Structures are given as structure tokens and as C-alpha cells.
Structure 1
Amino acid sequence: MKAVVLAAGYGTRLQRDLDADTTGRFRHLAGLPKPLLPVGPRALVSHWVRALTLSGCVDCVYVVTNALHHDAFEEWAAQFPMVKILSDQTRSNDERLGAVACLRLAVKHFGIEDDVMVIGGDTLFKEDFGLTRVGERFSALQARCEDNCLVLSYQCKEEETNKYGILEVDEDFRVLCMKEKPIPTETESRRACPCFYLLSKKSLHLLDEFLEEKKDTGIELRDAPGNFVSWLIPRMPVYTHQISGRFDVGNLPSYTECDLYFREKLEDIESYMV
């Protein structure tokens, strides 16, 4: 299996918060892409690479970034032999390709023909998440049918359904549909779906079909990777694995909350996410 880390975003909300900060506490973060932000003892994306290495669930990690941050990622990746960096060649948020196009870029550029673990570069999970357990669940699904894909879900609050893609599942935890940011009365489910997917190699050709179908739509429909998952569900079997929660670094408050957790609350940093 290969891992693709989606890290080509420009972090516009976070940079606005940093520009507006008058305390000076976060001056050292200015200009850093979100995956390279220090979270506890290491960069956010380094937590992923360390756990992926220790779990042995992938044999290569491909990080898709943009031209503006490419050099910073190359410098960071020098310490990780299994990591390769790919630029999407954009230099501004207005030029961005979108997350789904970046995933396809990695698949095409590196000639990926294996199952793919897709990881949001600004996302970390709570301590109950483990790559080994998730990998075992995916392997069991693959043994039943090689088409099977796996996503994660966690319980969100009722008033938060309109912030996330919400999964509806059957008794076997197969996903029936994903409702995009529904109001609470539109679904009984509270299963939010973060950006972490295990995609069967048999599903990768559908990236082309999705992007061709959406080529005349706005970038928002092609940017959010959950839109591809929602589109995929009627076409390939997708199952879910439950976790307790995630950290989504989108702005300065969410970053400081994440950093505080890793500095003061994480009980076992050595086995985290393994």
C-alpha cells in the first residue's frame, strides 16, 4: 500500500489569524504550511510519517504540495527515506488544483497501482486511532472483495452536522450515502467523515471519471476530497471504521488546541497512531 498526503493547500484562514495576532507568540509560524507546523515534539506531518514507518502498513509516502512550499517540504523530507515530494506547480490559492486533482496527480506521476491511503495534511486523530487496527480492518474487507474501500467516522454534536460530510451506514457498517453538511433534521446520523481514506486500487481509475464529470464546476466541488468519496459510494463498496475524534488544523485556535493536546494530554507519544 502507498500513502498520499494531501498538502497543497495555502492555509489562508490560519495565515489571516497569524497576521491579525498582536501577541507575538506565533510569529515563528508565519509562512509555514500547515503540515509543517510544530505539534508537540515534531511537525504535524512527521507524526504521520513516524506512525506509518513503525506500523509498516505502507512502503512509500508521497506528499503533494505546491510550488510555493515545495522547498520547505523537500528540506523536511530529507530525514525520511520513504517520503517523496511532488509539487502541483501552483503558487497561489486561486491557482490551486483541488485535493482530488492532487490525488490523481500523485497516482499518475508515481505510477501507483496499489491500494492507497489518503491522508489530509492538516489532520491528526485522538489517541484511540491506530494504523495497525485500521489496516487489519481494511485487509479483512479486501479478503471479502478487492473493491472494498474504508473511511473513518466519529460522532459529532447535533449542532455540528452542517460543518461536515455525514455518513449513513447499514448494520454491516457499509456506507449508504454521505450527506454534505446537512442540518440535523435531514439525517439521524451523526457520523462525521474526516479526510482519511483507504482506497482500493480498483477504485483509482474513477478519479479520472470524477474529475472529467466535474471539470466545468467550481473548484470547491473538486477541492474537498469528501466530494469524491460521496460520489464513489454508489459506485464502489465503502465501509467505515469508528474513531473518537480528530484535530483539524484550520485556524489559530484549532492549532493551539491541537498543540496543547500533544504537549500536555497525550499519554503515550511513542505509540501514537501506530
Structure 2
Amino acid sequence: EIDIVFVVTNDRFHCDFVNWAQSFAPSYSKPIHVLNDGTRTNESRLGAIGDLVFVVNQERICDDCLVVAGDNLFDFELRQFVEFFKEHGTTVGLYVVKDMDLVRRYSIVELDAQGRIIYFEEKPQNPKTNLVAICLYLLKQTDLPLLHEYQCDGQPMDAPGYFIQWLHKRTEVYGFPFHGIWFDIGDHKSLEQANRVFSKLQEE
């Protein structure tokens, strides 16, 4: 069901990702377009939501979108996630994080009986749940214009959870819990841990 894949990177690493896409393309049936957002420093970066706005505008996307942060690493299938989205609309991937100190780095979520998000808080100081949103979104075509509204409101453009925190108060947003292995690669330690886990899975 995927028509095309867009990978957004900064100017510094653009060539690296172009080379990766060219080497990966023969094993993948869909076209992969690597987009350069033109930034080279932390001070000039667009942020995760800024890059999403960038690709939607530049490519004039007018379709449902699967959004996956590049620092996500997981082993779960997305088929049921897609089916849930088709039935309910804009949907966010969820995951239970056992370490409450880690929960403070993410976004916490509460759902109603139908799975609709009724509470969302980005980077909570005192989390009241360990059900967190991960940057794995399925956005309806009709919700894409709200990205522009969010930007014009002067909202934070970095952490993607702030957009969902804003969005769920304006339209229906649902949550879909995942089970399996998920890593948010934020530093060398988490990268090494993920490498150990996935290397072990390949050996089994």
C-alpha cells in the first residue's frame, strides 16, 4: 500500500543517505527519494515536525501518510496498525515502557474505550502512566493541512509529540498499542543495546 518512501536528512549527511538508498533500492520494490532540508547545524535545523512540513510542502503530498522517526528500531508488523487506521483515522503507535525514568523522555497517553486519545502529555515531569507514544504515525490526508496551522501557531517544531498533543484537541486521534521489541536510539548506549538484541535474534 506504500506508493513512495521519502527520507529527509540534513545537508551534512545527504550524500550518505543517497548512497544508502541507491544500495538498498534493488532489494525494495518502491521508489525511495532522499530529500535534503538544507540545514547543517543544530541551530538551523528544522526539527522533526519542521522536516515533516518540509516534505509535505515540497512534494505536494495529498494522501494518507505513514510517518516513522529515523531513530525508531522495532520488530513488530504494521499490518494490524494499518487496518486499525483504515477503520478509525489518524493513529499513533503506543508502547508500554517499564522504566518510569525513561517515560519522562517520551509522551504519555490515555485512551478511552474506543482507543481514542483523551490525554497526551509530551515529556511529563510526573507521569501517571507508562503507556507512551512512539513516533510511528498514520496521518489522514485531511489532517495534513493542520501541520501548516500548527506551524503558524508558533508551536514547537522539534519533538514530534508536541504536534500530537496539539492535534488530539482539534480532531480525533487514536492510539494503537504495539507489543514486541522497540528502541528509541538516542545515544551510543541504546544503539549498542539494540545491536546486541537484534544480533541475537538473527542468530536464533
TM-score, length-scaled by structure 2: 0.90
Cα deviation for residue 163 of structure 1 reads 1.9
Q: Identify the structure with the greater helix proportion.
A: 1
Instruction: Give the match's secondary structure for 1:195.
Output: strand
Instruction: Give the match's secondary structure for 2:171.
Output: coil
**For residues 159-186 of structure 1, what are the alpha-carbon distances to aligned partners after superposition, in whole Å with 9 as ceiling and x for unaligned?**
23322110111111100121122244x5
Instruction: Give the match's secondary structure for 2:18.
Output: helix
Change beyond 3 A, Cα 1:183–1:267:
farther
2:19 corresponds to 1:70: no
Instruction: Give the Cα separation in 2 of the matches to 1:94 and 1:225.
Output: 18
Instruction: Give the match's secondary structure for 1:193.
Output: strand
Instruction: Give the Cα separation in 2 of the matches to 1:183 and 1:67.
Output: 34
1:201 aligns to what? 141
Cα deviation for residue 266 of structure 1 reads 5.0
Runs of 4+ in 1 over 4 A off after TM superposition: none
2:202 corresponds to 1:261: no
Structure 2 stretches lacking a partner, 5+ long:
none
Instruction: Give the match's secondary structure for 2:83.
Output: helix
Q: Which amino acid aligns with 1:202?
A: T
TM-score, length-scaled by structure 1: 0.68
- Structure 1 counterpart of 2:91, from 142, 146, 150: 150
Instruction: Give the match's secondary structure for 2:134.
Output: coil
Cα deviation for residue 228 of structure 1 reads 0.5
Question: Which structure is larger by alpha-carbon Rg, 1 or 2?
Answer: 1
Q: How many residues align?
A: 197
Instruction: Give the Cα separation in 2 of the matches to 1:71 and 1:92.
Output: 16
Q: What percentage of aligned pairs have identical amino acids?
A: 35
Instruction: Give the Cα separation in 2 of the matches to 1:266 and 1:233.
Output: 38
2:36 aligns to what? 87
Q: Which amino acid aligns with 1:151?
A: V
Q: Is the 8 A contact 2:73 2:184 kept in 1?
A: yes
Instruction: Give the match's secondary structure for 1:227.
Output: helix
2:137 corresponds to 1:236: no
Cα deviation for residue 124 of structure 1 reads 1.2
Q: Cα RMSD over matched residues?
A: 1.7
1:252 aligns to what? 188
Change beyond 3 A, Cα 1:92–1:250:
same
Cα deviation for residue 158 of structure 1 reads 5.9
Instruction: Give the Cα separation in 2 of the matches to 1:239 and 1:262.
Output: 29
